[in-house]
Amino acid sequence: MRVLVMEITKQVCSEEHSDLLKSMVNLVVTYWDHGQWKEAEELFVLVMETMKQVLSKEYPDSLTSMANLVLTYWNQGQWKEAEELEVLVMETKKQVLCKEHPDLLTIMANLAVMY
């Protein structure tokens, strides 16, 4: 059903439209729920790249999509990709948040677990 929603939304919205991005994220969640990590990864890469182009990499939704892609890599055992993207998320959040912000501390803790 979510594939159908995404396909219909693609027909009526531009590639950058927020409704299309939301439908894509909803489909990724379905992929996660079913352990379809590769499908989730492919779609999340597209969502992340689009959000970075449309919103900027510092925008909270862009950072959330990047962090979710980290989890997707993690669940596939793609440690290097997960680490590289998590470092990028951390460095970006350092620029926009204070160093004591809970989100930043969580990312740092996640990196410690990866190491």
Residue spans of the chain under pLDDT 50: none
User: pTM for the complete prediction?
Assistant: 0.80
pLDDT at 42: 93
Length of the chain: 115
What are the percentages of helix, strand and coil residues in the chain, rounded to 5? 80, 0, 20
Expressed as residue numbers, the domain containing 35 is: 2-114
How far is the C-alpha of 86 from the C-alpha of 66, rounded, in Å?
8
pLDDT at 21: 83
CATH assignment at residue 42: 1.25.40.10
pLDDT at 18: 76
pLDDT at 36: 93
The number of folded domains in the chain is 1
Instruction: Give Cα separations from 94 to 5, 53, 59, 79, 97 (angstroms).
Output: 36, 20, 13, 22, 5
User: What number of other Cβ atoms are within 10 A of residue 22's Cβ?
Assistant: 15
pLDDT at 63: 86
